[in-house]
Amino acid sequence: MKVISYNLRKNRALGEVHALAERHRSDILCLQEADPLSLPTTLGHLRLAGATEQNRLGLALYVSDERFETIETRTVALKKSLHDRVLAPAHERLLGTRLLDHETGRELVAASFHAAPLTASNSLRRHQISAALAELGELGPELPTIMIGDFNYPVFKGGLHAHVKDAGFKLSLSDRRTYTRYKFFRGHFDFATSVGFDIGSVRTLARGTSDHLPILLSAAYTPEFSGVLTA
What does the pLDDT profile of the chain (231 residues) look like in tens digits? 999 999 999 999 999 999 999 999 999 999 999 999 999 999 999 999 999 988 888 999 999 999 999 999 999 988 665 445 444 555 799 999 999 999 999 999 999 999 988 788 888 999 999 999 999 999 999 999 999 999 998 766 678 889 899 999 999 999 999 987 665 566 788 999 999 999 999 999 999 999 999 999 999 999 877 554 443
**Domain residue ranges of the chain, discontinuous segments joined by +:** 2-221
pTM above 0.85, yes or no: yes
Give the phi and the psi of residue 214 in degrees, each rounded to 5: -70, 155
Q: 2-221 in CATH: which number?
A: 3.60.10.10
Calculate the CA dihedral of residues 86, 88, 90, 91 and round it to 10 degrees: 80
